[in-house]
Amino acid sequence: MRGRRMKLRDTPSVSPALWRALPCPAAELRLELVLPSGQTFRWRESSPGAWTGVLGDTVWTLRQERDRLWYTVYGGEAGADTDRLLREYFQLDVGLRDLYRSWGAADPLFREAAKDFPGVRVLRQDPVECLLSFICTSNNHISRITAMIERLCRAFGRHLCHLDAQPFHAFPSLAALAGDDAEARLRALGFGYRAKFVSGTARAITEGLGVEGLHQLRTAPYAEARKVLCTLPGVGTKAEAVPVDTHVWRIARQRYGMELGGRSITPRAHQEIGDFFRGLWGPRAGWAQAVLFCADLHKGREPVVSQDRDKES
């Protein structure tokens, strides 16, 4: 595949770089399971087995073949820096097969559910994009969230290029989303009550924590990071290492027999469910939860990503 170039229509000024490859067995990563599973909303299957999307300020196409992760970028050169970005994005230094074995040994239910879904891993996304995207997930489905994020990027993000007449935009800057008219524009784009949370959080980060402070939360103790995030508009108790939404709540009750009172997710239930799964699966419990979510998604169900919007948000 090295050296092949993709055909582009209507964009003679934008060309793909030569294809490069990273070693990556399917047991460590499966693009068709990870990219459309609700972690990120910037990728689409542009041709069978090929995924095109935006990572950083660059448009990429990815595909897998013979234990290799192949990629090309548009409007730039592929090299050691792009290798590093891709490895960091997919966290390829984390050995997934060993984690699956550990989770399966501790949890026969996980072992059974995950046997047909290897290669599901958690992405290391830009914190600003990840935070603002997940504010949009409240009471929403993946397909609708994807369309919302596309509208958000087209309206507020910098245009990067067209591929096959499809425009690609960078994720908006905080400054763009913190503007005086941002909330009204977001409402006009169909964001509803989420509009004030997106613009309010962009403004709160700009005026307080700052982008650098948000990035530093990656290395902060869990409780401290959670406390800071929960002060932002639209972020509530779902800011968990094991994100507890109605989907996880149902899994806890139906598959694991947890006795949880009531018909909604209370703060106490949040804590109990999170503690249960962290105790069962260990430090990377959120990764194991992502595998079960993906398994349900590919069994013909599109779970609501986050249904219980916090009353105080």
pLDDT score for 191:
96
pLDDT score for 2:
43
Catalytic residue among 7, 196, 227, 238: 238
- Reference 127, options 3, 210, 227; nearest CA is 210
pLDDT score for 76:
86
DSSP codes of every residue in 213-233: HHHHGGGS-HHHHHHHHTTST
DSSP codes of every residue in 7-45: --SS-TT--BPPPEEEE--TTT--HHHHTTTTS-SSEEE
pLDDT score for 193:
94
The model's pTM is 0.87
Instruction: Give the right CATH number for 1-91 from 3.40.50.10470, 3.30.310.40, 3.30.565.10, 3.40.50.2300.
Output: 3.30.310.40
Residues (pLDDT < 70) of the chain are 1-13, 236-241, 261-264, 300-313
Is residue 26 within 8 Å of residue 181, measured between CB atoms? no
Mapped onto helix, strand or coil, the DSSP state of residue 188 is helix
> What kind of architecture, by CATH, is found in domain 94-116+238-307?
Orthogonal Bundle (1.10)
pLDDT score for 263:
65
Burial 253-262 (b: 16+ CB within 10 A, else e): eeeeeeeeee
pLDDT score for 244:
73
Beta-carbon count within 10 A of 113 CB: 19
pLDDT score for 240:
56
227 is an active site residue: no
pLDDT score for 119:
97
Longest dimension (CA), the chain: 61
Q: Where do the structural domains in the chain lie, given as residue ranges?
A: 1-91, 94-116+238-307
Tokens at 105, concatenated: 């040994």
